[in-house]
Amino acid sequence: MALVNAQTFLLLAVFSCMFAIGLANYDFNWGPRTWNKTNCPYTHPPNATQTSNRFIVGGSENWHYGFNYMDWARKTAPFFVNDTLVFKYDPPNANGTGFPHSVYLLPNYRSFNKCDFRRAKRIADPTQGAEEGFEFVLKKMQTYYFACGEHQGIHCKTGNMKFAVMPLKHWRF
């Protein structure tokens, strides 16, 4: 009797799973009287008239060693396509003292996580962050990984001089 009950339970469980999977994959066409799919906000075209924003990286702290830029990016988000990031930092002193900074664009998360600059692209050298700063426009909807590559990546590894952003498209609602 126990074997029959176990077989019945197993058969019922398999049938229930197959039925649930079948319903989940079925393309229901509800028609015009119930669900109007054109009113879904995710189907609207991008808003071309939306203005872009300009963000100073780090806010009033600017781009320097020891500030948590991942936290800044998380609190400042969301970023959108065509927004501009402004990296402001002090240029190196004429006598060679001070701490120069730069801006690198890292190719992927692994390089970002390990502060590996072997395949990174330097987008701003130590002199470009002075005065008005270096501007970088987020042109695509992709993840951008930024870091300071000075002193063989020490600023990235121990100084928290790295962050990632994923700009979104502007949508009309």
pLDDT digits (tens, 9 = 90+) for 47-77: 455 688 999 999 999 999 999 999 999 999 9
What pTM, to 2 d.p., does this model score?
0.68
Q: What type of residue sits at position 134?
A: F
φ, ψ dihedrals at 112, nearest 5°:
-60, -50
What's the one-letter identity of residue 27?
D
Cα separation, 7 vs 109, in Å, equals 49
Q: Specify the amino acid at residue 159.
A: G
Residue with tokens 């701003």: 124
Length of the chain, please?
173
Q: How far apart are CA 124 and CA 132, in angstroms?
A: 13
pLDDT of residue 171: 74
Q: Count how many Cα atoms sit within 13 Å of the Cα of residue 99 in the half-sphere of its side chain.
A: 15
Task: Give the tens place of pLDDT for each residue, 95-107.
Answer: 655 678 999 999 9
- Buried/exposed code over 82-95 (b: 16+ C-beta within 10 A; e: otherwise): bbebbbbbeebeee
Q: Give pLDDT tens digits for 21-35.
A: 655 555 444 444 444
Give residue-wise pLDDT tens across range 105-120.
Answer: 999 999 999 999 999 9
- Would you state the structure tokens that stand for residue 121, as one six-digit string? 């692209």
Q: In what order do the strands lie in the sheet with 162-165?
A: 121-124, 103-106, 144-147, 162-165
Report which of 70, 80, 78 is spatially closest to residue 47, judged by C-alpha positions: 80
